[in-house]
Amino acid sequence: MYNKVTSADLAALKQILGNEFVLFGDEINPDYAHDELGGVEKMPEVLVRPGCTEEIAAVMKLAYEREIPVTVRGSGTGLVGAAVPVEGGILLETKRLNKILELDKETLTVTVQPGVLLMELAAFAEENDFMYPPDPGEKSATIGGNISTNAGGMRAVKSGVTRDYVRALTVVTPQGEILKLGGKVAKNSSGYSLKDLVVGSEGTLAIICEAVLKVVPLPKVSLSLLVPFPDMKSAIEAVPKIFGSKITPTAIEYMSRDTILFSEDYLGKKFPDTKSDAYILLTFDGNTDIQVESEMKVIADLCLEIGALDVFILDTDERKKSVWSARGAFLEAIKASTTEMDECDVVVPVNRVDDFIKFTHALAKELNVRIPSFGHAGDGNLHVYICRDALGDKEWENLLNTCFDRMYKKAEEMGGLVSGEHGIGYAKKGYIKKQYGETPIALMQGIKKVFDPKDILNPGKVCF
Amino acid sequence: MNILVCIKQVPGSNNVEVDPVTGTLKRSGVKSKMNPYDLYALEMALSLQEKIGGTVETLTMGPPQAKDIIVESVCMGAKRGFVLSDRNFAGADVLATAYTVSQGIRICGQYDLIICGKQTTDGDTAQVGAEVAEYLGYPNVSNVLSVDGMKDGVISLTASLDEEIVKMTVKTPCVISADGDINTPRLPSYKVKQAITEDAVTFLSMQDFSDKDAEHYGLHGSATQVERIFPPEKTKERRVLEGTAEEQTAAIFDLVCRQKLI
């Protein structure tokens, strides 16, 4: 149904981008066939690396006219196959667009190109005494990718998610038109929010070429607590009680001893405490020691009162690093502990986290499979991993289907949704269809059609 | 085994400004913390105690607020600690510091093993441990990676000589300096902090020492004088290398060769 890339197309692309930024066939590294999700693979016919918005527009004009599919890729760290060119065609990599263009201290915004890495933006903001609050675990992801999945991260409890920080986007439409959506404004009631439609659309509606992001003043004081509990049940049950105290920590993460031990093996570095079965990790930010310490004290006392075994204080950079670096490596650590794995990035109401974790433990026992998990206890977004270990191909496929069916069904019963922050991409579209039903999916498909009548931009994803 | 760990309070951040007029570190308004290298020494002591029993105590020299790191050490598992604090100790160089610490150790108790951190993040001399040993007349080993056991008053340990790893035995009492990054220091407990009592910290001054001659301490007792302190030069220059992986590799190689880094 799509046209293949011909030698004439290749010549035209080289004309637009220059020879060195157009790779064809065997010149393309096999890694471009997949993202961090295993199982979904397809090589693009051609890989292009544009250096500016106008080049992207020119590529899209050509692709639209010739009806060649285009898939956008940042760092390739996605977990649902969203950046896999399942229909072949052109893979458009944004990594050359890696400039931080402006820090506007009067509107508290930073303007970036989509290939800037999250860690680069975080460091840049901090150097200038600002903070970009979204804090997903994968720091080498691009900002374009973060916007495309509406990435969340650990500070979502207090600070919200990527969408809350996108003020404006410059995008290229599938037809090759350059549009500016939103602006350096704090409010916007001017018609449908096209900018917010593009955020989280996983590269299916338009290509993000520039983003104006909100930053906040860097909190002067930050302190974390690592709180050990005798078991996961008491750890998770503590979270709603913490919210009940009317103090909102910046982050509330939960982690089990098993996951911590995987990360010790993976990093070759000991975690400061592994005596307990379950932990929650809390962070408090503020502008004065007195404020942060008084909040910390209320929560520390509360935790001890409701059964915490102790409360450990992470008050220096070294101490924070010893715990947060392990937390940041959990995904890779679990991956390294098995032969293959797949993930359920489910989100449930905060007060159902405990029930959902208990359900995964029971499921693991029933199906005789390892299902380690960790996640954002404070916002209900869990990362649950099904480990293949020694299973054969057929058994693995069956097991995955059973596990996912049961987990998404359970999440739905609890009022939860399929994805908290990783997106739907290719891998989870069956589950979103199942949950949303006909009309919402038809509305999504209609939106896609308005933006992209020829369905050339990242086809086969999200709602198709 | 009774262990004493020598610790120091240092600025909480590496970005401490230097007063251009006096040439001293601007400490006011800057938060303090325990020297990160001392945390490895303290963890080594606490792990040893868990393995073979005994007690762990800590000692520091500094202004009265240095008490905070003694409290912190107790929150991590030490039994108690001492603060050597006296106006006469001010301005001490490495030698005078080591002498003061050795005087303090003599009256604090009987220890089989004294553990110091490798160096501090503010002074960076890495000499105090060895000089304390000299003043006490104890054997000394630096860059210790692990204490492997103790039998009949002799401890066996592993130390790094940069190029090689050596295993040795040392008679107690002795002074060792723990190498950096050899363990993950445990975290201070809020629960212990809430329960801490006054007697966990003991202040000692020159009047408590056997040598009460002020000429032997602080600036007077120092063999060296600091002429000038200045911050290291900072550069924000960045170079982005472009091109293929091969071209970038060649460019990096060329760059590190020219900078004489390899």
Query: pLDDT digit string (tens) for A374-387?
Result: 888 889 999 999 99
Q: Distance from first CA to last CA of chain A, Å, rounded?
A: 15
Helix or strand holding residue A452 (H, E): none
Interface contact flag, B39 A318, Cβ < 8 Å:
yes
Q: Are A380 and A416 in contact (CB under 8 A)?
A: yes
Residue A349 near residue A298, CB atoms below 8 Å: no
Mean pLDDT to the nearest integer, A213-238: 94
Residue B232, pLDDT > 80, answer no
Give yes or no for residue B203 having a pLDDT over 80.
Answer: yes
Helices then strands (H, E): number in chain A?
Answer: 15, 18
The pLDDT score that the predictor gives to residue A329 is 87
Cβ contacts of B183 on chain A, cutoff 8 Å: 270
Which chain B positions have a beta carbon within 8 Å of A269's beta carbon? 184
Q: What is the CATH number of the domain that holds B184?
A: 3.40.50.620
User: B91 CB near a chain A CB, below 8 Å?
Assistant: no
Per-residue H/E/C for A222-287: EEEEEEEECCHHHHHHHHHHHHHCCCCCCEEEEEEHHHHHHHHHHHCCCCCCCCCCEEEEEEEEEC
Beta carbons of B183 and A270 less than 8 Å apart: yes
Q: What is the pLDDT of residues A446-459, one digit of tens each?
A: 999 999 999 999 99
Output the pLDDT for position B27.
Answer: 67
Prediction pTM value:
0.85
What percentage of chain B exceeds 70 in pLDDT? Answer: 95
Tell whether B189 is within 8 A of chain A (Cβ). yes
Assigned architecture for domain A221-331? 2-Layer Sandwich (3.30)
Closest residue in B to A270 (Cα) is B184
Q: Which pLDDT value is given to residue B234?
A: 77
Distance CA A93, CA A140 (A): 15
Closest residue, chain A, to B36 (C-alpha): A318
Give A100-217's CATH code, choosing from 3.30.465.10, 3.60.21.10, 3.40.50.20, 3.30.930.10. 3.30.465.10
Pick from B161, B245, B188, B131: nearest CA to A27: B245
Give mean pLDDT, residues A183-193: 93
Please say whether the beta carbons of A209 and A198 come within 8 A.
no
Residue B25 has what pLDDT?
67
According to the model, what pLDDT value does residue B3 have? 97
Q: How confident is the model at residue B22 (pLDDT cuts 50, 70, 90)?
A: low
Task: Supply the pLDDT for residue B19.
Answer: 73
The lowest-confidence range among A6-10, A93-97, A352-356, B43-47 is: A352-356
pLDDT tens for B72-121 read: 999 999 999 999 999 999 989 999 999 999 999 999 999 999 999 999 98
Q: Are A198 and A105 in contact (CB under 8 A)?
A: no
- A338-436 classified as CATH 3.40.50.720: no
What's the confidence (pLDDT) of residue A284? Answer: 94
Residue B23 has pLDDT above 70, yes or no: no
- List pLDDT tens digits, range A246-300: 998 999 999 999 899 999 999 999 999 999 999 999 999 999 999 999 999 999 9
Give the model confidence (pLDDT) of B49-59 as tens digits: 999 999 999 99
Listed by number, the residues of chain A in 285-314 with a beta carbon closer than 8 Å to a beta carbon of chain B are 289, 300, 304, 310-314
B184 located within any domain: yes
Instruction: Encode pLDDT of A111-169 as tens digits.
Output: 999 999 999 999 999 999 999 999 998 999 999 999 999 999 889 989 999 999 999 99
Q: Which of residues 8-27 of B touch A (CB under 8 A)?
A: 12
Is residue A433 very low, low, confident or very high in pLDDT (cuts 50, 70, 90)? Answer: very high
Tokens 């290291």 -> residue:
B232
A273 interaction partners in chain B (CB closer than 8 Å)? 186-187
- Which of A312, A317, A322 best tests the B interface by mutation, with the highest count of B CBs <10 A? A312
Count the Cβ atoms, other than its own, within 10 Å of residue A338.
17
Using an 8 Å CB-CB cutoff, list chain A residues near B190.
225, 300, 304, 310-313
Distances (CA, A) of A133 to A155, A158, A234, B60, B251: 7, 9, 29, 39, 35
pLDDT of B62 over the 80 cut: yes
- Cβ-Cβ pairs closer than 8 A, A with B, add up to 47
**pLDDT cut 70: percent of chain A above it:** 100
In whole angstroms, what separates CA A259 from the centre of its chain? Answer: 20
Total domain count, chain B: 1
Confirm or reject contact between B187 and chain A (CB < 8 A). yes
Chain B residues with CB-CB distance to A323 below 8 A: 187
pLDDT at A124: 97
Kindly report, residue by residue over A305-336, the tens digit of the pLDDT: 999 999 999 999 899 999 988 988 898 899 99
Tell me how crowded residue B145 is: count the other CB atoms within 10 A of its CB: 18
Chain A residues within 8 A of B241 when measuring between CB atoms: none
By CA distance, what is B12's nearest residue in A?
A316
Using CB atoms and an 8 Å cut-off, which of residues 255-274 of chain A contact chain B?
269-273
What is the per-residue pLDDT across A30-66, written as a single tens digit (0 to 9) for each?
999 999 987 889 999 999 999 999 999 999 999 999 9
Backbone angles phi, psi at A82, to 5 degrees: -65, -30
Domain contains B18: yes
Q: Which whole number is the average pLDDT over A5-9? A: 97
Query: What does the block give as tokens for A461?
Result: 């994803």
Q: What integer best gives the mean pLDDT of chain B?
A: 92
**B79–A contact, CB cutoff 8 A:** no
Question: Measured between alpha carbons, how far is A382 from A183 in angstroms, rounded to an integer?
Answer: 33
- Enter the tokens of residue A157: 């409890």
Q: Do A312 and B183 touch (CB under 8 A)?
A: no
Q: Which residue in chain B has the smallest CA separation from A289?
A: B31
User: Is pLDDT of B230 > 80?
Assistant: no
Write down the domain spans for chain A.
Answer: 7-95, 100-217, 221-331, 338-436
Q: Judge whether A344 and A407 are in contact, CB under 8 Å.
A: yes
For the domain bounded by A7-95, which CATH number is listed? 3.30.43.10
- pLDDT for the residue B236: 75
- Cβ distance A273 to B36 less than 8 Å, yes or no, reads no
- Among chain B residues, the shortest Cα distance to A224 is held by B187
Tokens of A215: 């930053």
What does pLDDT average to over chain A? 95
Quick one: average pLDDT of A158-184? 97
Please give the residue that has the higher pLDDT: either A358 or A112: A112
| B188 and chain A in contact, CB less than 8 A | yes
pLDDT value for A62: 98
Q: Which of B35, B120, B184 to mutate to test the interface with A (most CBs of A within 10 A)?
A: B184
Residue B91's domain comprises 2-216
Candidate from B31, B184, B191 with C-beta closest to A310: B191
Inspect the interface and report whether the beta carbons of B187 and A273 lie closer than 8 Å: yes
Quick check: A343 pLDDT over 70? yes
Is 80 exceeded by the pLDDT of residue A205?
yes
CB contact under 8 A, A271 and B184: yes
* pLDDT reading at B14 higher than 80: no
